[in-house]
Amino acid sequence: MVGENKFFDEMSGHNGTVRDAYAAYHDWFAEQDAERLAKKSQDAETFFRRTGITFNVYGQSEAQERLIPFDLVPRILAQREWTKLAKGIEQRVAAINAFLHDIYNRQEILRAGRVPKHLIVGNEAFLPQMLGFSPPGQVYTHIVGTDIVRTGEGDFFVLEDNARTPSGVSYMLENRETMLQMFPELFSKIKVQPVSDYPKNLRRSLAACAPSSAGSKPTIAVLTPGIYNSAYFEHSFLADQMGAELVEGHDLRVVDGHIAMRTTQGYKRIDVIYRRIDDDFLDPLTFNPESMLGVPGIMDVYRAGNITIANAPGAGIADDKAIYSYMPDIVEFYTGEKAILKNVETWRCGEPGALQYVLDNLKDLVVKEVHGSGGYGMLVGPAASKKELATFAEKLKAKPGNYIAQPTLSLSTVPIFTESELAPRHVDLRPFVLVSPQGINIVPGGLTRVALAKGSLVVNSSQGGGTKDTWVLED
């Protein structure tokens, strides 16, 4: 582990000296027998197969069930690193909620000219049906999964805000469970903050957002599109873990002014719906009339104040990558403070000058669709062939406003266990944030995604990424 690291390695920094947060783990690892660890790695895979954590990959001819590879070397953050991160995320998430409320009501930020109107006008993620309405508790983003990347000792950046239905929290929980089962001795040696409270906190946070007409124990349901969805495992897992109902659209209907689910004892009223289906499919009476997944009338019941929808319809406007580029202004506008967490430098290709720069430097940049997610439809310049670059340049020229570009980041690395040794691989981090009128709660940890191929910078599970357990140490 000695030598110059081109990228910041979270275990050994730039110069090969083991960083404090990793010292205890590093000592433990040095004492381990490589063969035993290799065996453990296989055990982990068996464990995941047995619990049923699999993942469907979109865009393949057959919906292929695949395991997200798990790496047994944890990603470790010191308490003080986490505290700073959490403060930054909290500030940003509070600003995003204020932004959404403003955009769907007075639109002061547009009138002040701090965010250009044209980014909202005609944006499909902007829902006119939300105008002039305040959701219960004035919360729009009940659950957020902020994507964080790191490039140096103190250099954290927000890559994406994921204000609409972020997935992956089940992996955070299962990864910890797996580590606890495989290496119980490690956790007695090293004090790691627990993440197992997440389902309980999720339940509490959602319940605190229930309409005022709900009783003291609001009924919560997870609305899933069904078993063919790539995240179905997570939907059923979360419902089970927090003691909520798992429902599909056809289980629900309007009863006495509320949304209710069919049970063996008749219809039972639901107060909070944690929906894992897209806005467009949510209500055929208000949005896409062809939708078979949604609940007819839910938007009417919502506007009448009789149900909480998490996350709020229309929250996705905050995920637009052109809006993202204004996030430092958005934070300042609503909190009156400078943003604690930095944004990644972003060129808006729709702006004159920016497009030319992006075309001239395409091979060094990452280009993303403004409405895209999950790593689909993006170009990673340094990894692209000449032909791919040329094809993408044409797409860019045809619809420049549809794209933003960012520099290829020198993402930090964390070692993974490869057969017998440690090898650095690039990572990102998705902490999970819960928002309610009672406050913002961030579970200490999150989902660390790791690009398993040597040198690769793409961590998305749909693009061959794996995951790691994420530790926040106790002081």
Partner 1 sequence: MHLTITHTTRYSYETPVHYALQKIRLIPRDTPQQRINDWKVQITGGNREVIYHDQHGNVTELMQIDPGASEVSITASGRVETRDTAGILGKVYGSIPLWLYLQHSKLTKPGDGIREIAATLEAAQDKLTGLHDMSARIAEAVKYGSGQTYAGTTAEEALKGGKGVCQDHAQIFISAARAAGIPARYVSGYLMMKDRVEQSATHAWAEAHLDTLGWIGFDVSNAQSPDEHYVNVATGRDYLDAAPISGLRQGSGDESMIVSLQVQQ
Least CB distance to partner 1 at residue 222 (A):
23
Can you tell me the distance from the alpha carbon of 163 to that of 357, in angstroms, rounded to the nearest whole number? Answer: 30
Interface with partner 1 in residues 434-463 (CB under 8 A): none
Q: Which residue of 3, 59, 128, 266 would you call a contact of partner 1, by CB under 8 A?
A: 128
Asked if residue 401 binds partner 1 (CB under 8 A), the reply is no
Task: Supply the Cα-derived Rg of the chain in whole angstroms.
Answer: 22
Residues from 242 through 271 that contact partner 1 (CB under 8 A): 253-254, 256-257
DSSP state letters, 52-102: T--EEPTTSSS--EEPPPEEEEEEEE-HHHHHHHHHHHHHHHHHHHHHHHH
Give φ, ψ of 404 to 5 degrees.
-125, 160
Number of residues that bind partner 1 (CB under 8 A): 27
Q: Does residue 377 touch partner 1 according to CB under 8 A? A: no
* CA 148 – CA 50 distance, rounded (Å): 31
Q: Does 117 bind partner 1 (CB under 8 A)?
A: yes
Q: What's the rounded Cα separation, in Å, for the pair 219 and 269?
A: 7
Give, for 150, the enclosing helix (H) or strand (E). strand 147-152
DSSP for residue 432: E
Work out whether 132 is an interface residue with partner 1 (CB under 8 A): yes
Binding of partner 1 by 284 (CB under 8 A): yes
Q: Give the residues across from 156 on adjacent strands.
A: 150
Nearer to partner 1, 277 or 301 (CB): 301
Residue (107 or 138) nearer to partner 1, CB = 107
List, in sequence order, every beta strand (DSSP E) within 193-326.
Answer: 220-223, 245-247, 252-255, 258-263, 266-270, 272-275, 308-310
- State which of residues 100, 130, 220, 231 lies at the interface with partner 1 (CB under 8 A): 130
Residue 153 in tokens: 């000792």
Stretch that binds partner 1, among 18-26, 241-249, 262-270, 281-289 (CB under 8 A): 281-289
Of residues 128 and 336, the one with the C-beta less far from partner 1: 128
Whole-number Å distance between alpha carbons of 353 and 342: 23
Looking at 173-181, 192-200, 297-305, 438-446, which segment touches partner 1 (CB under 8 A)? 297-305
Does the footprint of partner 1 cover residue 107 (CB under 8 A)? yes
280/388 with CB nearer partner 1 = 280
Nearer to partner 1, 63 or 131 (CB): 131
Q: What's the rounded Cα separation, in Å, for the pair 131 and 318?
A: 15
Instruction: Tell me, residue by residue from 305 to 334, as one string, x for binding to partner 1 by CB under 8 A and - for no binding.
Output: xx----------------------------
The minimum distance between CB 280 and partner 1, in angstroms, equals 13
Q: Is 352 in the site for partner 1 (CB under 8 A)?
A: no
Q: Which of residues 13, 137, 194, 296 is near partner 1 by CB under 8 A?
A: 296
Amino acid at 88: G
Q: Does 297 bind partner 1 (CB under 8 A)?
A: yes
Least Å from the CB of residue 272 to partner 1: 17
Q: Is 290 in the site for partner 1 (CB under 8 A)?
A: no
Shortest separation between residue 107's beta carbon and partner 1, angstroms:
6
Total number of residues shown for the chain:
475
Q: What one-character DSSP code corresponds to residue 167? A: -
- Does 112 interact with partner 1 (rule: CB under 8 A)? no
Gap between the Cα atoms of 122 and 381, Å rounded: 29
**Which is nearer to partner 1, 166 or 313 (by Cβ)?**
313
Rule CB under 8 A: say whether 390 interacts with partner 1.
Answer: no
**C-alpha span between 152 and 470 (Å, rounded):** 18
Helices (H), 158-293: 169-182, 184-189, 198-207, 232-242, 279-282
The encoded tokens of residue 268 equal 């039972």
Rounded CA separation 125/313 (Å):
9
Binding positions for partner 1, rule: CB under 8 A: 105, 107, 110, 117, 121-122, 128-133, 253-254, 256-257, 284-285, 289, 296-297, 300-301, 303-306
